[in-house]
């Protein structure tokens, strides 16, 4: 019996099947909760809390209408957009410059900075809320978006710096040398040569900082007092009274929150692997 | 308008290290000269070049370009251009933008930039590629862009750090001559770093040999070949390498296997021990019949036949610290492997070195 | 870190030293300038509170005794203040002994939960992430689509996924119980038992955290040169041996960092436990972070106890990181 010999890169139908089956199962698990929330958000309130399994049950946009028009959701949404974008821009600027310095220069204090970054990851955020609240109160920033932007930057910047440092390490240092000979100082080298080459790394940073700010709850609840200044994460907590969550509003709100996040994700995902690789391999 | 370059006891000590990477380098590069800096890897040649470029701190001593002390100047204030080993072209800029980048930073007018870039592109035959990104070019083309970037600057000094080492053998040979002739035409003082002594010998007006951060010798290529200052230079320059071995000296004769080689009076006078390091190049060996005076027997191990020439690798007992011996032989009548042949050293072309210092001993 | 760069480190005459300091500054000022904003923000918002927290952990500071003065309004509207008689004071290691002996709170229960929680999450994150990354690192049709879809959970804000899973695990109408009933099994009261509640939280966190691991490991896999696999294949190795001797060592730099970071993050993962189990049943699934949060914010705000928790958490993680680093170093990894 002769069989067409299999090429090196082909695999047997059986292992191909196993591969796809595994990935389909994994993908299903990855997507299912999101899809289920989406489906639930289209059901009327009583159908959400039904024990029967229905993909669709009198589909309606009523939940969305109520979230959008009967709550301060649009306000919160706008606040979140502003906070997330500012966090993103400021966070990237800070972590990119710091990451570049850590990647390229051997300066006194460098080890201390690296340790500071690690320590900040270790101290539980929950404990920091009170003292940071005091600081913000002293600065008169309570109930402002600025307080959130600053706090989120302090959360996101250490990891982003560490990641970007790894990414900058993969950019050949000869380019910096060439730039120095071409007449660029360190800041201009950074701006004209290194940053344009670090797009994948920056994309991951953008994604990460955006997400940090977008869905955050604890700081937002602590710092923001008035309803119109709330961000999404904090605002949605209003739908969760202690014992009787309003699943109808909650599911619709959750879907609306996920939309911009997926948008950012969509733009960043192409670069995620490349951007994170460098950060991961060069610890 | 050519400019000399002077290293004055320039030293580079890396923080945390006790051995300087470059140790009191004294070197003068003449205006318009092509100086090749050569040595094995880790000898400090690249560090020296980077010190001149301003990419590496000078721990002590000084460096002058023309009559300016540039020791602590920033790279951009030194009026130099450099070609890097991996070319260091900006991946996000086109060829033309790469070449004109330094001028743009310096605030040169756009029209001026484009004429200068166009001129350089014409010289280097890059006109068709000006709008491409470096990624889309072959290795040889990228090399030319790196050259072009340096030329456009019209600097006082060119620095080149192994610019040919990423090219294949054939392209390297042709580019070698291109760079040398281009440099001669532009007349710009050039310091060229390489680990390849053939490159150094063929391109340099003079060649400086470094080892372990210490300058061994600076001389014109032929001088270096004919009168190496010490054992290291003798062994490093020339391909195949010079035969070097330590031999006992008796009554003014060196004992090379069964042969006695008469040493010049000046050499024996300078000896401090009963031994001498002798060196003779493959082409200084003359094949002679057995029994000729001063001849020694060599057992043939391998013969490399290159067509126009042939090299015989044989063993002369265990007396050479390189147990092999290389001799250049007639390419059309090579001895068989395993046979024993006899050689005599041309006394005029015998090199003698001290066993203690490795310095060359006078031969006349 | 020494400031001197030149060889001679003996007696330095004044002007030369000033010159050297100046040179050090000239050489490093831009590096310092580049890290300064970050250091400033982190210093103000993390380091300063951290130091304050450490100090507070040696006091009995709470919401009620934090004021220096007690003020009362008189009828005329004027205020009269007297020094607070019950003002906070230093208590030495009192908080720590209370905490560690279980006098206040359930430290050992929380620690046990934290360790189970962290171990389970990090292990599952890593193994599932590794498995998916190895699959995705092959060449086949549709792989980029799988990759995008598998990363989706990363883009979901933590509290949203917490609610999504809480919704699925809901004992009354949650999908998981509905499926169990349909399969003829008994529904599970997920949040009435310590380990089932913990299980629900772990599932949520694994779901949330696998994409990051997967992407990081995928990047690590792609940085292993293909020649190594080819060489191993020429040596006659089986696929499993190749995985064992090429993939695993090749991933070590990535693995070591993501596991360290993953452990720290999971250890301090607040929203999942807080929102999914909320400590149910009766605080039995509380971990250290949520426990400290409750100490600080629920009921009478006990700042000093919360700070003590924080310091203990920090100490545990510092010891862990240092030990981890030492192990890596002994294996020749530079981190």
Mutate to test the interface with A, among C32, C34, C332 (most CBs of A within 10 A): C34
Q: Which of the pair, B258 or B322, is modelled with greater confidence?
A: B258
The fraction of chain B above a pLDDT of 90, given in percent, is 59
Q: How far is C20 from chain B (nearest CA, A)?
A: 11
Cβ contact (<8 Å) for A19 and C138? yes
d(CA C106, CA C270): 17
Span(s) in chain B for CATH 3.40.50.300: 5-232
The predicted model gives C320-335 an average pLDDT of 74
pLDDT tens digits along B328-353:
999 888 888 888 888 999 888 999 99
Q: What is the pLDDT of residue A283?
A: 38
Provide the pLDDT confidence category of residue C14 given band limits of 50, 70 and 90: very low
Q: Which of the pair, B157 or C62, is modelled with greater confidence?
A: B157
d(CA C104, CA C95): 9
pLDDT tens digits along B47-75:
999 999 998 889 999 999 998 999 988 88
d(CA C299, CA C317): 28
Cβ contact (<8 Å) for C318 and A122? yes
Residue numbers in C near A261 (CB within 8 A): 155-157
Chain A contact present for C229, CB below 8 A:
no
Q: CATH number for the domain including C116?
A: 1.10.3720.10
Mutate to test the interface with A, among B50, B52, B55, B161 (most CBs of A within 10 A): B55
Among chain A residues, CA nearest to B83? A178
DSSP C52-97: HHHHHTTB---STT--SEEEEE-TTS-EEEEE-TT---B-TTHHHH
Which residue range(s) make up the domain with A33? 13-41
Chains near C (3 or more Cβ pairs under 8 Å): A, B
B163 has pLDDT over 50:
yes
Q: Which of the pair, B200 or C236, is modelled with greater confidence?
A: B200
- Cis (ω within 30 of 0) for the bond into C121? no
Find the chain A residues whose C-beta atoms sit closer than 8 A to any C-beta of B: 172, 174-175, 177-185, 188, 192-193, 196-197
d(CA C226, CA C245): 14
* DSSP β-ladder status, B310-315 and B324-329: antiparallel
Mutate to test the interface with B, among C2, C3, C7 (most CBs of B within 10 A): C7
User: Are the C-beta atoms of residues A48 and A248 closer than 8 Å to each other?
Assistant: yes
- The domain total for chain A is 2
Q: How far is B79 from chain C (nearest CA, A)?
A: 20
**Closest residue to A184, CB basis, from B54, B80, B105:** B105
Chains near A (3 or more Cβ pairs under 8 Å): B, C
C10 has pLDDT over 60:
no
Could you give the 3-state DSSP secondary structure of residue B239?
coil
- The domain total for chain C is 1
Q: What is the pLDDT of residue C4?
A: 37
Q: What is the pLDDT of residue C257?
A: 82
Same domain, A77 and A216: yes
Residue numbers in B near C5 (CB within 8 A): 15, 57, 59
d(CA B173, CA C258): 48
Q: Which of the pair, B54 or A280, is modelled with greater confidence?
A: B54
A279 has pLDDT over 80:
no
C17 has pLDDT over 80:
no
B161 has pLDDT over 90:
yes
Residue numbers in C near B20 (CB within 8 A): 7
Same domain, A33 and A130: no
Q: Which of the pair, A72 or B207, is modelled with greater confidence?
A: B207
Provide the pLDDT confidence category of residue B223 given band limits of 50, 70 and 90: very high
CATH 2.40.50.140 fits B241-353, yes or no: yes
Chain A contact present for C3, CB below 8 A:
yes
Q: What's the CATH code, domain B5-232?
A: 3.40.50.300
User: Are the C-beta atoms of residues A244 and C214 closer than 8 Å to each other?
Assistant: no
Residue numbers in B near C7 (CB within 8 A): 13, 20, 59-60
Among chain A residues, CA nearest to B160? A178
Q: What is the overall mean pLDDT for chain B?
A: 90
**Closest residue to C306, CB basis, from A127, A151, A273:** A127
Q: What is the pLDDT of residue A281?
A: 44
The predicted model gives C174-195 an average pLDDT of 83
Q: What is the pLDDT of residue C6?
A: 38
pLDDT tens digits along A110-130:
888 887 887 777 777 767 777
| Token pair 């270790």: residue | A122
**Closest residue to C215, CB basis, from A27, A110, A276:** A276
B158 has pLDDT over 90:
yes
Residue numbers in A near B85 (CB within 8 A): 174
Q: What is the pLDDT of residue B116?
A: 94
Q: How far is B208 from chain C (nearest CA, A)?
A: 26
Same domain, A29 and A113: no
Residue numbers in B near A188 (CB within 8 A): 105
> Half-sphere exposure of B223 toward its Cβ, with a 13 Å CA cutoff?
11
The two structure tokens encoding residue C232: 């191993």
Q: What is the pLDDT of residue C258?
A: 86
pLDDT tens digits along A191-245:
999 999 888 888 888 888 988 888 788 888 888 888 888 888 888 877 776 566 7
Q: What is the pLDDT of residue B131?
A: 93
Q: What is the pLDDT of residue B219?
A: 95
Cβ contact (<8 Å) for C30 and A128? no
Q: How far is A122 from chain C (nearest CA, A)?
A: 6
Residues 6+ apart with CB under 8 A from C74: C80
Among chain C residues, CA nearest to A101? C31
The fraction of chain A above a pLDDT of 70, given in percent, is 86
Same domain, A149 and A230: yes
Provide the pLDDT confidence category of residue A52 given band limits of 50, 70 and 90: low
Provide the pLDDT confidence category of residue B292 given band limits of 50, 70 and 90: confident
Among chain B residues, CA nearest to A176? B88
pLDDT tens digits along B31-45:
999 999 999 998 999
Q: How far is C184 from chain A (nearest CA, A)?
A: 14
Cβ contact (<8 Å) for C5 and B59? yes
Cβ contact (<8 Å) for A178 and B91? no
Residue A52 lies inside a defined structural domain of this protein: no
d(CA C47, CA A17): 53
Cβ contact (<8 Å) for A276 and C24? no
B364 has pLDDT over 80:
no
The predicted model gives C279-286 an average pLDDT of 76
Provide the pLDDT confidence category of residue C1 given band limits of 50, 70 and 90: very low
B321 has pLDDT over 80:
no
d(CA A95, CA A208): 12
**Closest residue to A49, CB basis, from C151, C173, C318:** C173
pLDDT tens digits along C19-54:
667 777 777 888 888 888 888 888 888 888 888 888
Residue A62 lies inside a defined structural domain of this protein: no
d(CA C244, CA C239): 9
Cβ contact (<8 Å) for C310 and A49? no
Residue numbers in B near C27 (CB within 8 A): 57
Helices A110-122 & C14-42 angle (0-180, nearest 10): 20
**Closest residue to A180, CB basis, from B76, B89, B106:** B76
Residue numbers in A near C216 (CB within 8 A): 276-277, 279-280
Provide the pLDDT confidence category of residue C189 given band limits of 50, 70 and 90: confident
Q: Which of the pair, A89 or A248, is modelled with greater confidence?
A: A89
Span(s) in chain B for CATH 2.40.50.140: 241-353
Same domain, A266 and A131: yes
**Closest residue to C31, CB basis, from A20, A105, A135:** A105
Residue numbers in C near A95 (CB within 8 A): 38
Cβ contact (<8 Å) for B60 and C5? no
Same domain, A130 and A85: yes
Q: Which of the pair, A222 or A57, is modelled with greater confidence?
A: A222
CA neighbor of B352 nearest in space, from B299, B284, B257, B258 = B284
Among chain C residues, CA nearest to A15? C135
Residue C105 lies inside a defined structural domain of this protein: yes
Chain A contact present for C251, CB below 8 A:
no
Q: Which of the pair, C17 or B89, is modelled with greater confidence?
A: B89
B230 has pLDDT over 90:
yes
Same domain, A122 and A37: no
Residue A2 vs residues A6, B163, C307: alpha-carbon distances, Å? 12, 55, 74
Cβ contact (<8 Å) for B80 and A181? yes
B160 has pLDDT over 90:
yes
Cβ contact (<8 Å) for A180 and B84? no
Cβ contact (<8 Å) for B88 and A175? yes
Q: How far is B299 from chain A (nearest CA, A)?
A: 50
Which residue range(s) make up the domain with C281? 95-330
Provide the pLDDT confidence category of residue C12 given band limits of 50, 70 and 90: very low
Q: How far is A21 from chain C (nearest CA, A)?
A: 11
Q: What is the pLDDT of residue A280?
A: 45
A-to-B residue pairs, Cβ atoms closer than 8 angstroms: 55
Same domain, A95 and A191: yes
Q: How far is A2 from chain C (nearest CA, A)?
A: 25
**Closest residue to A183, CB basis, from B55, B88, B105:** B105
The fraction of chain C above a pLDDT of 90, given in percent, is 8
Same domain, A83 and A146: yes
**Closest residue to B59, CB basis, from C2, C7, C27:** C7
């Amino acid at each position: 019996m002769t069989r067409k010999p299999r090429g090196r890169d082909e695999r047997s139908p059986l292992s191909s099947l196993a591969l796809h089956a595994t990935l389909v199962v994994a993908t299903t698990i990855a997507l299912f909760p999101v899809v289920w929330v989406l489906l639930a958000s289209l059901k009327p309130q009583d159908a959400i809390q039904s024990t029967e399994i229905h993909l669709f049950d009198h589909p309606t946009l009523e939940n969305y209408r109520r979230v959008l028009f009967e709550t301060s959701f649009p306000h919160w949404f706008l606040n979140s957009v502003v906070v997330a974008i500012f966090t993103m821009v400021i966070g990237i600027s800070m972590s990119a410059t710091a990451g570049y310095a850590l990647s390229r220069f051997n300066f006194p204090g460098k080890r201390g900075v690296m340790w500071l970054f690690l320590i900040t990851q270790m101290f539980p955020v929950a404990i920091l809320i009170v003292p940071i609240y005091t600081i913000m109160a002293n600065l008169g920033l309570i109930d402002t978006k600025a307080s959130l932007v600053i706090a989120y930057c302090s959360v996101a910047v250490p990891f982003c710096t560490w990641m970007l440092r790894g990414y900058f390490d993969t950019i050949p240092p000869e380019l910096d040398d060439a730039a120095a000979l071409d007449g660029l100082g360190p800041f201009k080298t950074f701006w004209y040569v290194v940053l344009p080459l670090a797009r994948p790394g920056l994309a991951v940073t953008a994604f990460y900082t955006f997400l940090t700010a977008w869905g955050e709850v604890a700081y937002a609840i602590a710092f923001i007092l008035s309803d119109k200044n709330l961000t999404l994460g904090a605002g949605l907590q209003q739908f969760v009274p202690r014992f009787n969550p309003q699943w109808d509003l909650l599911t619709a709100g959750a879907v609306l929150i996920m939309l911009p996040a997926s948008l950012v994700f969509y733009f960043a995902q192409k670069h995620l692997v490349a951007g994170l690789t460098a950060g991961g391999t060069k610890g | 308008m050519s400019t000399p370059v002077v290293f004055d006891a320039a030293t580079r000590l890396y923080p945390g290290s006790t051995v300087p990477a470059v140790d009191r380098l004294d070197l003068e590069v003449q205006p318009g000269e092509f100086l090749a800096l050569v040595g094995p890897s880790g000898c400090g040649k690249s560090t020296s070049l980077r010190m001149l470029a301003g990419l590496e701190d000078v721990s002590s001593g000084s460096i002058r370009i023309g009559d300016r002390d540039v020791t602590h100047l920033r790279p951009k204030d030194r009026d130099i251009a450099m070609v890097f080993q991996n070319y260091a072209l900006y991946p996000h800029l086109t060829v033309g933008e790469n070449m004109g980048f330094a001028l743009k930073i310096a605030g040169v007018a756009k029209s001026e930039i484009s004429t200068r870039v166009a001129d350089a592109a014409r010289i280097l035959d890059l006109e068709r590629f000006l709008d491409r990104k470096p990624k889309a070019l072959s290795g040889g083309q990228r090399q030319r862009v790196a050259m072009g970037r340096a030329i456009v600057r019209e600097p006082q000094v060119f620095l080149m750090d192994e610019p040919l080492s990423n090219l294949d053998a054939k392209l390297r040979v042709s580019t070698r001559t291109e760079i040398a002739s281009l440099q001669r035409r532009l007349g710009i003082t050039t310091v060229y770093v390489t680990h390849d002594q053939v490159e150094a010998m063929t391109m340099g007006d003079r060649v400086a040999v470094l080892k372990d951060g210490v300058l061994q010798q600076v001389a014109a290529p032929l001088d270096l070949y004919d009168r190496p200052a010490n054992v290291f230079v003798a062994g490093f320059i020339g391909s195949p390498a010079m035969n070097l071995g330590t031999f006992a000296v008796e009554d003014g004769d060196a004992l090379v296997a069964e042969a006695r080689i008469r040493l010049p009076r000046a050499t024996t006078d300078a000896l401090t021990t009963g031994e001498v390091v002798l060196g003779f190049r493959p082409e200084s060996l003359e094949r002679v019949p057995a029994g000729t005076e001063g001849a020694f027997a060599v057992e043939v191990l391998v013969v490399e036949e290159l067509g126009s020439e042939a090299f015989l690798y044989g063993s002369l007992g265990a007396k050479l610290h390189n147990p092999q011996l290389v001799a250049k032989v007639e390419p059309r009548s090579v001895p068989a492997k395993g046979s024993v042949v006899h050689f005599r050293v041309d006394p005029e072309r015998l090199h003698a070195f001290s066993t203690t210092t490795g310095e060359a001993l006078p031969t006349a | 870190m020494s400031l001197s760069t030149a060889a001679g480190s003996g007696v330095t005459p004044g002007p030369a030293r000033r010159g050297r300091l100046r040179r050090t500054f000239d050489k490093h000022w831009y590096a310092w300038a580049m890290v300064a904003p970050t250091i400033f923000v982190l210093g103000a918002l993390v380091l300063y509170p951290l130091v304050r927290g450490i100090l507070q952990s040696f006091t009995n500071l709470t919401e009620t005794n934090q004021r220096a003065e007690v003020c009362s309004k008189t009828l005329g509207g004027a205020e009269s203040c007297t020094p607070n008689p019950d003002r906070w004071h230093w208590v030495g290691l009192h908080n720590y002994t209370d905490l560690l002996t279980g006098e206040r709170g359930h430290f050992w229960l929380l620690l046990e939960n934290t360790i189970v929680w962290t171990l389970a999450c990090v292990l599952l994150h890593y193994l599932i992430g590794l498995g998916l990354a190895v699959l995705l690192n092959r060449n086949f049709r549709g792989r980029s689509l799988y990759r995008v879809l598998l990363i989706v959970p990363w883009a979901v804000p933590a509290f949203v996924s917490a609610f999504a899973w809480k919704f699925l695990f809901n004992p009354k109408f949650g999908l998981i119980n509905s499926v169990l009933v349909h399969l003829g099994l008994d529904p599970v009261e997920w949040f009435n038992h310590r380990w089932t509640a913990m299980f629900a939280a772990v599932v949520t966190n694994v779901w949330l955290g696998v994409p990051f691991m997967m992407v990081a490991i995928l990047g690590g896999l792609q940085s292993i040169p293909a020649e190594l696999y080819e060489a191993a294949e020429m040596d006659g190795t089986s696929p499993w041996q190749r995985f064992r001797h090429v993939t695993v060592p090749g991933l070590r730099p990535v693995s070591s960092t993501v596991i360290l970071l993953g452990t720290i993050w999971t250890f301090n993962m607040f929203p999942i436990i807080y929102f999914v189990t909320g400590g149910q049943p009766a605080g039995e699934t509380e971990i250290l972070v949520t426990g400290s949060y409750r100490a600080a914010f629920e009921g009478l705000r006990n700042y000093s106890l919360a700070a003590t928790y924080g310091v203990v958490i920090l100490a545990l993680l510092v010891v862990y990181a240092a030990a981890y680093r030492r192990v890596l170093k002994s294996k020749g990894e530079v981190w």
